Amino acid sequence: MVIAGLGDSGVLTAIKLAKHADVVGISAKPGLVSGQELGWRLSRPGDWARHNWISFDKFRGLDRVRTVHGMLTGVDLAARKVFLEHSDGTAGAESYDALVISTGVTNGFWRRPDLQSDEEIAAGLRAAHERLADAESVIVVGGGAAAVSSAANVARTWPAKRVGLYFPGERALAHHHDRVWEQVRGRLIEFGVELHPGHRAVIPDSFDGSEITSAPVQFSTGQLEATADAVLWATGRVRPNTDWLPAELLDENGFVRVTPELRVPDHPGVFAIGDVAATDPLRTSARNRADSLLVKNILAESAGRSLRSFRPAHRRWGSVLGIQPDGLEVFAPNGRPFRFPSWSFERVLMALVVRRGIYRGVRENRPLS
């Protein structure tokens, strides 16, 4: 079995599948570099990295998986083979009986598909942190969880900075339940974030979101331009990492077409999961943990048994602000918050629920000193 892309969904799928089959995981990074918790990552990168940047050899569940550090470049669906460029520049290929496509999406400067070494990942984390640390004023453009969590965490970590959050609607977090915004809005105000609803920023044509900028921000909604030392663009313009796949597998927006069973139509043995998979409008199979269902379906297909369907949630849910001094707040799809007190975050949530329960054992990890 080949897992193409070892991010949040690929790692979980590989861990589960390795109990039943020989698994090869191919990844542009030498470890899991999670796309989650942008605000925490920018404001406290060392702490974030301990929980969210984990080299593959730290996962006990991946001990049986052969991980390959390389960039996928193509697939031959008839011959059941993927092609890649290894980190040393040589070309390679891997054959599969089943292929899981989990190459995720590109988003801003924090989720890039490029082939990177540990040193390059560390340098990127430090550079973004230092850029914000040095700025006296910060503008965050966007109204989703990445923008909101960035504004909140930057303002809380550096109370002397002027932090403004600019978003187009009357409220931010439009894909979450109303109750989530009500609660999070209160925290933003408490941390001193200036809220600017009704501001739709003009995204320059040539700009792909891959850097923190400093030019004035213009608005198509009529307001005067806004300026700050650092402008963080988190406008949710995601691009699927599917350049290596043939067009016949993709929908009109470049995401991988899937059936409710997470199969790629007309291609037995090919599946997709995570942000790259066109499961539902919000593409929620990663956060709704479809990896268990996917593994069952891969095994069922090869045994000729019937497959089960993924049921997407219609609203975004989960943590928005990440861990704070008073604990971690997680919102259910109905907007109700559940708070883990701060004492329980390391000892219960991360140690037992995440590292042991979700990842089946993670060795001590401190990648960014």
Beta carbon nearer to ligand FAD, 75 or 165:
75
Residue type at position 293: L
Beta carbon nearer to ligand FAD, 84 or 135:
84
CB atoms within 10 A of CB 164: 20
- CB of 103: closest distance to ligand FAD in angstroms? 4
- CB of 273: closest distance to ligand FAD in angstroms? 7
Nearest Cα neighbor of 176 from 8, 365, 314, 292 is 314
- CB of 201: closest distance to ligand FAD in angstroms? 22
Beta carbon nearer to ligand FAD, 161 or 283:
283
What are 266's strand-pairing partners?
none
Calculate the alpha carbon distances from 11 to 33, 55, 249, 342 in Å.
10, 11, 22, 27
- CB of 211: closest distance to ligand FAD in angstroms? 18
CB atoms within 10 A of CB 259: 16
Measured distance CA(317)–CA(322) in Å, rounded: 13
* DSSP assigned state of 110: T
Q: Taking the alpha carbons of 123, 46, 72, 362 in that order, is the dihedral positive or negative?
A: positive
Measured distance CA(253)–CA(27) in Å, rounded: 23
- CB of 323: closest distance to ligand FAD in angstroms? 12
Residue type at position 244: W
Beta carbon nearer to ligand FAD, 135 or 295:
295
Beta carbon nearer to ligand FAD, 219 or 284:
284
Cα angle 145, 249, 26 (rounded to 5 degrees) comes to 70
Beta carbon nearer to ligand FAD, 103 or 324:
103
- CB of 204: closest distance to ligand FAD in angstroms? 25
Strand-strand pairing, 65-76 and 53-55: unpaired
Calculate the alpha carbon distances from 140 to 167, 214, 228 in Å.
9, 11, 10
- CB of 164: closest distance to ligand FAD in angstroms? 23
- CB of 145: closest distance to ligand FAD in angstroms? 5
> 165 with 151: CB under 8 angstroms?
yes
Beta carbon nearer to ligand FAD, 187 or 287:
287
Beta carbon nearer to ligand FAD, 18 or 72:
72
Beta carbon nearer to ligand FAD, 144 or 164:
144
Residue number closest to ligand FAD, CB atom: 7
- CB of 221: closest distance to ligand FAD in angstroms? 26
Contacts with ligand FAD, residue ranges (CB under 6 A) = 5-10, 12, 26-29, 34-36, 71-72, 102-104, 111, 113, 145, 241, 244, 274-276, 286-287, 316, 318-319, 358
In 203-342, DSSP assigns E strands to 230-233, 239-240, 256-257, 270-272, 277-278, 318-319, 328-331, 337-340
Three-state SS at 341: coil
